[in-house]
């Protein structure tokens, strides 16, 4: 896997992971690499610093106290909006886990009371729900799994 710093023709910058350099080239030529902000497919690699693993005896890199640079701290307005959306969905809907397709179908057929739900479905289950007219949508982030 390789991570590239990318930019679009409108100047938006974002990072993405690819299987290999060849995979990036193939996807970019096919118009499948899309700007996360504006949706354009005119995306290119940006200048980026190489990630070199420090030696075994190297001093640890200090982490800023304000959380800047942390992967868990949303940096851009788009990341902040996505974090807020995720929080809103998780707080205002029921997590039904891998029973999502079954629960969504029951609500659609009137066999269960309607309520906001989120969960996980296999691609073929989601495709069947959409084909049958059940109103569902994929989420653009990974859910926080709730376990006992």
How confident is the model at residue 109, as a pLDDT?
A: 95
pTM of the model: 0.50
* pLDDT beyond 90 at 54: no
Edge to edge, the sheet with strand 13-18 lists 13-18, 2-8, 43-45
What pLDDT sits at residue 62? 61
Supply the pLDDT for residue 16. 86
Contact 33, 40 (CB under 8 A): no
Answer with the residue of higher pLDDT: 143 or 126.
Answer: 126
- The pLDDT tens digits for 79-133 are 888 888 888 988 999 999 899 999 999 999 999 999 999 998 998 999 999 999 9
């Amino acid at each position: 896997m390789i991570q590239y710093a990318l930019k679009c023709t409108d100047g938006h910058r974002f990072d993405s992971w690819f299987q290999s350099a060849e995979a990036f080239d193939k996807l970019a030529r096919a118009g499948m690499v899309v700007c996360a902000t504006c949706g354009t497919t005119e995306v290119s690699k940006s200048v980026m610093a190489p990630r070199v693993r420090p030696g075994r005896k190297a001093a640890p890199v200090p982490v800023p106290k304000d959380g800047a640079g942390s992967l868990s701290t949303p940096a851009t307005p788009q990341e902040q909006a996505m974090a807020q959306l995720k929080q809103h969905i998780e707080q205002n809907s029921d997590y039904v886990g891998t029973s999502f397709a079954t629960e969504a179908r029951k609500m659609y057929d009137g066999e269960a009371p309607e309520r906001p739900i989120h969960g996980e479905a296999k691609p073929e289950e989601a495709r069947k729900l959409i084909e049958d007219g059940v109103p569902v949508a994929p989420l653009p982030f990974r859910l926080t799994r709730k376990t006992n």
